Structure 1
Amino acid sequence: MNTSAFTDGDFSSFNFLNLDFVTTSKSQDADLVEHLSFIPGLKEIVMLRQVHALEHGTVWILSQADKLYNPESSSNELKTEDNELLGGLSTEQGFYLYGDVTIGSLRRAAKLALHRLTNGESNLAVHPRCSTNISVTMLVTAGFAVGMHFLLPRGPIEQLIGLGIATTTASEIAPELGLLAQKYLTTAIPFNLEIESVIRTRDNCGRAAHFVKVCWRDQMD
C-alpha cells in the first residue's frame, strides 16, 4: 500500500485508505500513535509490538554472547545461533526473560539488541521459537482440515486422507507464514523505547525470571 500520504505534522493529508497497518517501519508506528491515538488500545498494541521485537533481539544476542565482540562475526549468523534454554514473554511494560543469565549480561544484551534493531537490523525482531509460529500453525492446520472435510467425501478413509494432506501441507507452509506474521503483525522496530531497569523477579505464574522494564522517551498519553 502507498504510505506517501504521511507528512510531518499534517493531519489533513493523512489518508486512511492508504494506511499500511502491517509494517516494520518505525516511522509508521510513530505516525499511528500520533494520528490515531484516539483509538482505544492502540497505544498498548504499538508498545507491545516493540517490546516483542526487543525480546527477540535480546534472546538472539544472548545466544550469540561469545561472538558479541568478534569483529569477524556477521549479524546474519544470529539466524543460525539459538540458545533453546532461553525464552521470553512480552508485556507493554517490558519483557520477562527465562533462562540462566546474569543481570549484567542481560542488560548489555538488551541495550545492544535495541541499538541494532533501531539501526537497520530488523532480522533480530523475528525468532523461530516465537509463540506466534505455534498460533499460525494451529490456524493453518485447522483451516486446511476444515477445507478437506468439506471438499472430500464423508467416508472415514477419505477423511483420514484429507486430514493427512491438511497436516502435511500446513507443516510445510506454516513456519514461513509464522515468520511473516511476526515481521508484519506481532513485532515492530522500536522508535521511542528505552531500557529503564533489569531485575530478578517472578512472573504471574510464579516462575523465576528476569524482567527488562522499558520506558518511553515521548510519553504516549
Structure 2
Amino acid sequence: MPVPYGILFTNDEPDTPEDLVLVLLTVAFLLVFGLLAATLLVGLTVSSLVTLLTAPGQLARLVRDRQLRRNHALEHATINVIEERYGPSQLAGLARPDGFLIFGPISPSLALEAAEEGLRRMQAGEHRLAIHPRCGTTLVASQLVLAITFLATLLVLRQLSLLPFLLGLAAALLLGPRLSPLLQRWITTDARVEGMRIEGLRPHLVPLRLPWSSVMVPVPGALLVRTSWGDEQPSSRSVTILTRDARRVEAGRYWIDE
C-alpha cells in the first residue's frame, strides 16, 4: 500500500540502556581526545619556545670549543670506520674535552684500531668521516625545524589547531636529516685534526659513592678513547687512585686520575 505524502513515521520507542552507554562513551572519548590534543599543542608551543631559546646557545658553545668539536669528529670517524667494515651498528658516542666515549658491544682492540684509522684518514683529508647520519645533531636540527615551522604557522593562523603541529612535523621529517650534515660540518664537528694524538683507551669509570668511601667502577659497554693535542706530553701510563673526590693531577710524564 503506498504511503501518503506528508506523513512522517518516527520511532517513538525509548532509547535502550545500551544506546545511552554508547552515547556516554562517545562523549567521554571526544572530551579525552580534545583534552589530550589541547595539552599536546600547549606543550609543543612551550617546547618550541624553549628550543628556540636554548638550541642556538648550545650550538654557539660548541663553536667556541674547538677541542670538543675535533673529538666529536673523531668519534664519528671511529664509528664510520667500524660500520664500513661490519655494516650498520647500534654503537653510540659522546664527545668530551679529553676524548670521547663509545657505547655498545665492541671489543677494546677494535675500538682503538678504528679510532687510529679514523684519525689517520681524517688527517689525510677524508673529512667526510666526521659526518654521521645518526648524530644527535639530527635531533637538534629536527627540533629547530619543528619549532620554527610550528610557531610560524601558529602566528599566521592565530589559532591553536593541529595544522601547525602537522606542518611542523612534516618539515622536521623532511628537512631535519638534510640540515644535520650542514650543522655537523660547520658547527658541531671539526675535521681539521692535525696535531691530535690518541693517548689510549680504557673503560669508562664513574664514582660509586658508598657511606664510608667512594670507588671508581666501570660502566658496562662504555669505553673512553683519550686524546691529546699539540705540545701536551703523551702519557705512557694511567693510574687510578680511589679517593672521595674525583680530580686529575699532573705528575711529570704521567696523568694520575684521582
TM-score, normalised by the number of residues in structure 2: 0.58
Where do 5+ consecutive residues of structure 2 fail to align?
Answer: 1-60, 209-217, 233-258
Whether the 8 Å contact between 1:96 and 1:203 is mirrored in structure 2 is no
Query: 3-state DSSP class of the match of 2:134?
Result: coil
Distance 1:198 1:217 in 2: 19
Query: 3-state DSSP class of the match of 1:82?
Result: coil
Matched residue, 2:212: none
Match runs of 1:105-144 below 5 Å: 105-144=110-149
Query: Is it true that 1:173 corresponds to 2:175 in the alignment?
Result: yes
- Mark the structure with the bigger radius of gyration: 2
Matched residue, 1:82: 88
* Aligned-pair Cα RMSD in Å: 2.3
Q: Describe the superposition over 1:50-76 as per-residue Cα deviations: whole angstroms up to 9, x where unpaired.
A: 00000000001112235xxxxxxxxxx
Q: Which one of 182, 193, 197 corresponds to residue 194 of structure 1?
A: 197
Query: Is it true that 1:48 corresponds to 2:68 in the alignment?
Result: yes
Q: 1:186 to 1:43 in 2, by over 3 A?
A: closer
Matched residue, 2:243: none
Query: 3-state DSSP class of the match of 1:215?
Result: strand
Query: Is it true that 1:145 corresponds to 2:150 in the alignment?
Result: yes
Q: Describe the superposition over 1:108-165 as per-residue Cα deviations: whole angstroms up to 9, x where unpaired.
A: 11000000111111111001111111011111101110001000142x5xx2123211
Matched residues, number = 161
Letter in 2 for 1:132: T
Matched residue, 1:163: 165
Query: Is it true that 1:217 corresponds to 2:227 in the alignment?
Result: no
Whether the 8 Å contact between 1:44 and 1:92 is mirrored in structure 2 is no
Q: Please report how far the alpha carbon of residue 43 of structure 1 lies from its aligned counterpart in structure 2 after TM superposition.
A: 10
Letter in 2 for 1:117: M
Tell me which protein shows more strand as a share of its residues: 2
Where do 5+ consecutive residues of structure 1 fail to align?
Answer: 1-40, 67-80
Identity rate of aligned residues, in percent?
29
Q: 1:177 to 1:42 in 2, by over 3 A?
A: closer
Query: 3-state DSSP class of the match of 2:225?
Result: strand
TM-score, normalised by the number of residues in structure 1: 0.67
Match runs of 1:29-40 below 5 Å: none
Distance 2:113 2:75 in 1: 13
Q: Which protein has greater RCO, CA pairs closer than 8 Å, 6+ apart? A: 1
Q: Please report how far the alpha carbon of residue 82 of structure 1 lies from its aligned counterpart in structure 2 after TM superposition.
A: 2.5
Matched residue, 2:239: none
Query: 3-state DSSP class of the match of 2:190?
Result: coil
Whether the 8 Å contact between 1:193 and 1:216 is mirrored in structure 2 is yes
